[in-house]
Amino acid sequence: MALLAKLTQALFRWQSDGTGPTRLGQRRIFILPTGAGLLFVCALIVMLIGAINYTLALGHALVFLLVGIGISGMVHTFRNLHGLIVTPGRSEAVFVGEMAHFQLTLSNERPTPRLALELEAEPGVATRADIAGSDVARITLPLKTRRRGWLPLPRVRLWTRYPLGLFRAWSYLQPEMRCLVYPAPLDSPLPPASPTQQGGEQGPEGGDEDFAGFRHRQPADSLRHIAWKAAARDMARPLLVKQFAGGAQVELRLDWQLTDPTLPVETRLSLLSGWVLAAEALGNRYALNLPGIAIPSGAGEQHRRRCLEALALFAA
């Protein structure tokens, strides 16, 4: 089975390894009549038999005219794909359950447009594209995500029935693209935070002397930081917590051991994923500990991606 899969993959790639631009040549394009095309042929046969039976010169002329139109349509359908250049792009990481988007660039070197092109990576989900003459079109192929980890782009079918719909020309593409899928985040209270001293010794209220504003209270926040006066003025509003700028900074330890060991692995990873997003949204520093993986404390977009990538590629 593995050998058959490799042969099939090689058959549909031909001269490209999937990482660079692919030009659709004659060997890569297939063409067959559609259902309407077969019905058109049957109608022409009946018309031809009638013209022969009744020796109708105009009947013969009409049949031959329609045959010429059909052949011309077949040539234009084939030319609508011939010479098209397909270049793989990039894909952004997503969470399980979201749609992964793979970007492809279609380049048309001809002065005439290419119309009614359709690309399909998943059965029943087609993306339509029209490319003007000597122009480039960038399209996005959506693909459902069902599990975490790397999601490779499956074989893509590019096809067209332009201009008459009597013939369908298609080609198979195998771009070397993949999308990283993070575990779906679950909403859960963050684990208790611990203050860390930075920039010298601080008193017991280290950093509290520099008031920086308010934010909504989280379950892990200390009760002594709640703005009780603001809460008394408006009991309907959520509790607010005072934020201070100084030497003390809240640090979270997001540890695999803090999750319930009776839960499935994927659920525990989803809990950690939710903690990472919540900690980043609050602006806290956080460290991530997984079996065999220890990511030191940090913050920011790059640190968030590093932690989510570790969760996505974690092997239990």
Tens digits of per-residue pLDDT, 172-208? 999 999 999 999 999 888 887 765 544 333 434 444 4
How many C-beta atoms surround the C-beta of residue 157 within 10 A? 16
Which tokens hold the place of 126? Answer: 């087609």
CA 89 to chain centre: 11
pTM: 0.73
pLDDT in tens, 10-19: 554 444 556 7
Average pLDDT over residues 80-103: 94
CB neighbour list of residue 294: distance below 8 Å, 6 or more residues apart:
287, 288
CB neighbour list of residue 121: distance below 8 Å, 6 or more residues apart:
102, 141, 142, 143, 153, 154, 155, 156, 157
- pLDDT at residue 208, as a whole number: 44
How many helices (DSSP H) and strands (DSSP E) are in the chain? 6, 18
Q: Rounded distance, CA 206 to CA 212, Å?
A: 14
Asked if 254 and 289 count as a contact pair (C-beta separation under 8 A), the reply is: yes
More confident residue, 305 or 195: 305
Which tokens hold the place of 279? Answer: 């900690």
Query: Residue 101: which of 158, 151, 159, 173 has the closest Cα?
Result: 151
pLDDT in tens, 121-164: 988 889 999 999 999 999 999 999 999 999 999 999 999 999 99
DSSP 3-state assignment of 237? coil
Q: Could you say which DSSP state residue 226 is in?
A: B
pLDDT in tens, 39-48: 999 999 999 9
Query: Residue 151: which of 94, 86, 88, 89 has the closest Cα?
Result: 94
How many C-beta atoms surround the C-beta of residue 249 within 10 A? 20
Q: Could you say which DSSP state residue 55 is in?
A: T
DSSP per-residue letters across 147-195? SSEEEE---EEEEE-TTTSSEEEEEEE----EEEEEPPP---PPPPPEE
pLDDT more than 90, % of the chain: 64
